[in-house]
Amino acid sequence: MAHRDVLDALLHDYTTRAEAIRRDLGRSHSADFAEQAQQRQNDEVLDALLVEAEHGLLLVRQAQQRLAEGRYGECLCCGEPIEAARLAALPVAEYCLRCAEDLGDYSSQAARLK
């Protein structure tokens, strides 16, 4: 699958996820206090999931911009090509593995996209 197609699919997934979470957050709460307390706790989890989805959208849009500019797959730190296996595993990767490890970015990027 071409990079553009992969990024488009990711954008669609994150957009769909964010829209569903916003819908869930917009629903009304029960009049029952105990049930309402549980719903409020669920809202906190949904808020965190929405932040992750919106961050994923940002990363995908940045990757799409790099693709449009002909810089997709180029490490933002050293300018060397990002490994194909890394891009296959993390299509929004901004850094080659060496630079990501040096910057401590590898695990944080992967964690944000799960």
Q: What is the pLDDT of residues 31-68, one digit of tens each?
A: 776 776 677 778 889 999 999 999 999 999 999 999 99
Q: 43 with 83, same domain? A: no
Q: 2 with 25, same domain? A: yes
The answer on pLDDT for 108 being more than 80 is: no
What is the C-alpha separation between 35 and 7, in angstroms, rounded?
A: 40
Q: 114 with 67, same domain? A: no
Q: Which residue has the higher pLDDT, 97 or 1?
A: 97
Q: 3 with 55, same domain? A: yes
What is the C-alpha separation between 45 and 18, in angstroms, rounded?
A: 13
Determine the pLDDT at residue 26: 85
Q: 62 with 10, same domain? A: yes
Q: 30 with 77, same domain? A: no
Determine the pLDDT at residue 105: 67
Q: 65 with 82, same domain? A: no
**Chain Cα centroid distance, residue 91:** 10
Q: Output DSSP code: residue 82.
A: P
Determine the pLDDT at residue 91: 97
Q: 20 with 59, same domain? A: yes
Count of the separate structural domains present in the chain? 2
Determine the pLDDT at residue 48: 93
Q: Which two tokens stand for residue 43?
A: 């809202």
Range of the domain at 55: 1-71
Compute the mean pLDDT over every residue in the chain, rounded to the nearest whole number.
Answer: 88
Calculate mean pLDDT across residues 17-44.
Answer: 81
Q: 13 with 59, same domain? A: yes
Determine the pLDDT at residue 33: 65
Q: 59 with 4, same domain? A: yes
Q: What percent of the chain shows pLDDT beyond 70? A: 86
Q: Which residue has the higher pLDDT, 69 or 28?
A: 69
Q: 40 with 28, same domain? A: yes
> Counting beta carbons within 10 angstroms of the beta carbon of residue 26, is it exposed (0 to 12), middle (13 to 18) or buried (19 or more)?
exposed
Report CA Rg, the chain.
18
CB–CB of 75/82 below 8 Å?
Answer: yes
Q: 64 with 86, same domain? A: no
